[in-house]
Homo-oligomer: A and B are copies of this chain.
Amino acid sequence: MASTAGVRHMKVGFLGLGAMGAAMATNLLKAGHEVTVWNRSPAAAEPLAALGAAVASTPAEAARGEVVLSMLANDAAVRAVILDGGVLDAMAPGTVHANHATVSVALAQELTQAHVARGVGYVAAPVFGRPDVAAAGRLNILAAGEPRAIERVRPLLEAMGSRVWPLGEAPERASVAKIAGNFMLAAAIESMAEASALVRAHGIGAADFLEIMTGTLFAAPAYQGYAKLIAEQRFKPAGFALPLGYKDVGLALSAGEAARVPLPFAGVLRDSLLEALAAGDEDVDWSVLSQVAARRAHLDERAG
C-alpha cells in the first residue's frame, strides 16, 4: 500500500464483498475514500458499514459516484450485475469502471464495447493475491484500458495493491494475462502433485521433498503456499476452491481456442481437476490435485 498523502479523496462504488472484495474495500476506506458498497447478500456489508461505508440496496445505487470498482465471482455474476443489473446504465458518462474479476476474453471484449457505447471509461484490473495479501494492501494489480481511465483509478489501485502492472489499452489483455498467470499456478500445483506422488512411492515424505524444493529452486510464493497444503494434505478450508480452479483452466482453454493456441498442459489440468470434481467434494482447495495424483498411483493402498 503506497502512501496516501496528498491523494484526492474520491466517491467510489464497490460491488462484491467476498473475502477479496471486502479486504479491498476496507483499504479504500482506510485511505480516506468515500465508499458506497453493495453485495448480493447484505450481511457482508455490515463490517464495512462499521468502518464508515455507505450501504446500497441495489448495484445501481452504488454506481452513482465518479468511479465504480467491482470484484465479482465470474462471467455470469459480472454480466448479471454490470450489464443486466443496471450498473452500466446508472453510470454517468465520463465516470470509470474498474473490473477486478477474472473474466473470459469474450466477456472482456463485450464489456469494452458496452462501456464505449455509454461513454464510460473501462479498466480491466484483475489482481494476483489471496485474501490475506488483499488485506495487507499488497495485491499485484494488472491494468489495461485507456490511459486516462487508468490514471483516474490509479490512486485507488495503489491503495489496494503494492504494484500496478500496465498492459496497454485493450482491456482484454489484462484478462488474458491474468488467465495465463492462473494457468501457470495450476501447472505449478500439478507438477508438485505428480512429483510428490513419485517421491512418496519411492519412500520419501512429500513434506521433506517439498521443503527442499521450496527452499531452493522454487522459493516463490506460488509454490510455498501450496506446498504446505500438499505436504499436510490439508484441503479444507479452501484457499482457492476447486470449482474456481476448474473454471480458470477453462478460461485458459477458451482463450487458447479463440486465438488457436494448443495448450497441452491445460488439457491435462482440465482432466485432473475434473477427476477431483468427480470424487464428489467441491468444497476443497484446488491443491487437492495432489490427492488425484496419489490416487492414480494407488499410494494409499500401499501404505497398509
Binding site for B on A (CB under 8 A): 105, 128, 140, 142, 163, 165, 167-168, 170, 172-173, 176-177, 179-181, 183-185, 187-188, 190-192, 194-199, 201-204, 208-209, 212-213, 215-223, 252-253, 255-257, 259-268, 270-272, 274-275, 277-280, 293, 296-298, 301
A217-B181, A264-B264 are contacts. A259–B198 as well, Cβ < 8 Å? yes
The CA of A128 and the CA of B219, in the complex, are separated in Å by 13
Asked whether, in the complex, the Cβ of A203 is within 8 Å of the Cβ of B170, the reply is yes
Residues of chain B contacted by A219 (CB below 8 angstroms): 220-221
Q: Nearest chain B CB to A204's CB is how many angstroms away?
A: 5
Asked whether, in the complex, the Cβ of B170 is within 8 Å of the Cβ of A183, the reply is no
Q: Nearest chain B CB to A138's CB is how many angstroms away?
A: 10
The CA of A220 and the CA of B216, in the complex, are separated in Å by 8
Q: Nearest chain B CB to A292's CB is how many angstroms away?
A: 9
The CA of A275 and the CA of B277, in the complex, are separated in Å by 19
A167-B204, A192-B184, A259-B198 are contacts. A296–B275 as well, Cβ < 8 Å? yes
Asked whether, in the complex, the Cβ of A140 is within 8 Å of the Cβ of B188, the reply is no
A181-B213, A218-B220, A259-B201 are contacts. A194–B105 as well, Cβ < 8 Å? no
Select A267's contact among B167, B222, B223, B267, beta carbons within 8 Å: B267
A187-B191, A203-B170 are contacts. A274–B298 as well, Cβ < 8 Å? no
Smallest CB-CB A-B distances: 4 pairs: A267-B267, A220-B220, A201-B259, A187-B191
Asked whether, in the complex, the Cβ of B142 is within 8 Å of the Cβ of A212, the reply is yes
A173-B204, A204-B176, A217-B221 are contacts. A260–B184 as well, Cβ < 8 Å? no
Select A280's contact among B190, B202, B255, B298, beta carbons within 8 Å: B298
The CA of A56 and the CA of B213, in the complex, are separated in Å by 36
Given contacts A187-B265, A220-B223, 7 further A-B contacts (CB under 8 A): A181-B213, A185-B217, A187-B190, A202-B255, A256-B274, A262-B293, A264-B271
